[in-house]
Amino acid sequence: MESGGLLLWALPSALLLALLLQLSPRLRFRAKVLSYCALCLMASALTAPACLLWNGGRTVENMRLVCLICLCPVHRIIKNVVRSFKYLYGLRFDVKGLEHFQVEGPCVIVSNHQSVLDMMGLMEILPDRCVQIGKRELLYFGSVGLIMYLGGVIFINRKSTSNAKSVMSGVGQAMTTDNVKVWIYPEGTRNGNGDLLPFKKGAFHLAIQTQVPVIPVVYSSFTTFYNPEKNLFTSGRIRVEVLPPIHTSGMTATDVTELCDTCYTTMRETFFRLSGTARRVNGSTPHLAQ
């Protein structure tokens, strides 16, 4: 009797929802983004206890592809869980240049940042022993914040330059002592407008202070399949290129701006080439961070 009543309500409600989603592109877009957020929250909630139990807390080991000592799947769990999301959303990654990650010791990886979907692109190619720099607010995203914390993400307060700088100098010390790579989004925020934002200089200060190479990574534009302004979120193919390392040995603080500009110009050229878009006519001069 009760299950019959439930069916009586559930079926028309599901049909109505399906109809609404069909009719409203905005609603359909929002539902898809919401499903991604829910998936991340759910997957993090299920994965966090495994990471906690196995590794006993916050460690970069939680992000590793495979533990060569015990071949334990928990070590690769975060990466592999996120890598599987692409099948649900019909996304494919064509990756080139992975051999450039084969540098001895630590390095600073810089890449462009377009949307929350970047987490899939990040996990697609994330090298071993690599932590990311993230804004402090992400720590409060429920279970997603917890899984980031457990995976070793370093949180900075973007509103306080001095705080961000002191956290980054701590990162520099840890990089060399613990042989850790650091992944930074130098645009400092998401940007899906089909171009790169001016780069902040933190990543380049860090690379020069620690005398480690910078490895630029470029993802092609998402605008053909993901565009919030057009309520567009379909399947798509993303081209990814890991560029050759730029060595910083011998560079000093005075070289930061030049290093930043070189990376920006190279990454912007690569971005346009991978995205199949011409350099913009308006604002064709690369606008570099001051």
Ligand X SMILES: CCCCCCCCCCCCCCCCC(=O)SCCNC(=O)CCNC(=O)[C@H](O)C(C)(C)COP(=O)(O)OP(=O)(O)OC[C@H]1O[C@@H](n2cnc3c(N)ncnc32)[C@H](O)[C@@H]1OP(=O)(O)O
Task: Provide the binding-site residues for ligand X, judged by CB under 6 A.
Answer: 40, 43-44, 47, 78, 81-82, 113, 119, 122, 132-135, 138, 144, 147-148, 151, 153, 156, 158, 161, 164-165, 168, 184-186, 188-189, 200-203, 205-206
**Binding-site partner at residue 203 among ligand X, ligand UBL, none, CB < 5 to 8 Å by type:** ligand X
User: Burial, 126: exposed, middle or buried (Cβ in 10 Å; 0-12, 13-18, 19+)?
Assistant: buried
Nearest residue relative to ligand X (C-beta):
202
Q: Which is nearer to ligand UBL, 142 or 276 (CB)?
A: 142
State which amino acid sits at residue 118. D
156 forms bridges with which residues in the sheet?
135
Hey, which residues between 162 and 191 contact ligand UBL (CB under 6 A)? Answer: 189-190
CB 153 to ligand X: min, Å: 5
DSSP category for residue 91: E
d(CA 204, CA 259): 7
Site for ligand UBL in 143-162 (CB under 6 A): 144
Query: Nearer Cβ to ligand UBL, position 31 or 251?
Result: 31
Contact 217, 125 (CB under 8 A): yes
Among 142, 170, 228, 244, binds ligand UBL (CB under 6 A): 142
Tokens of 4: 């019959």
Left, alpha or beta for 250 (phi > 0: left; psi -120 to 50: alpha)? Answer: left
Token pair 């645009």 is found at 187
* Dmax (CA) of the chain: 79
- Residue in the block written with tokens 């730029």: 246
Name the H helices within 179-275. Answer: 202-210, 256-275
Q: Toward ligand X, which CB reaches closer, 105 or 142? A: 142
Least Å distance, CB 112 to ligand UBL, is 12
Placement of tokens 């005398």 in the chain: 211
CB 122, min distance to ligand UBL, A? 9
Number of H-type helices and E-type strands within the chain: 8, 9
Beta bridge partners of 132: 183
Q: Which does 141 bind (CB under 5 to 8 A by kind): ligand UBL, ligand X, none?
A: ligand UBL
- Our finding on whether 41 is near ligand UBL (CB under 6 A) is yes
101-130: contacts with ligand UBL (CB under 6 A): 113, 116, 118-119
Least distance (Å) from ligand UBL to the CB of residue 44?
8
Provide the token pair at 3.
């299950």
CA distance 204 to 255: 9
Give the separation between CA 50 and CA 36, rounded to whole angstroms.
21
Tell me the closest approach of the beta carbon of residue 239 to ligand UBL, in angstroms.
Answer: 20
Site membership for ligand UBL, residue 228 (CB under 6 A): no
Instruction: Pick one of 30, 58, 135, 165: the residue that binds ligand UBL (CB under 6 A).
Output: 135
What is residue 213's three-state secondary structure?
coil
CB of 233 to ligand X, least distance (A): 18
Q: Which of ligand UBL, ligand X, none binds 213 (CB below 5-8 Å, type-dependent)?
A: none
Tell me which residues touch ligand UBL (CB under 6 A).
37, 40-41, 113, 116, 118-119, 135, 138, 141-142, 144, 189-190
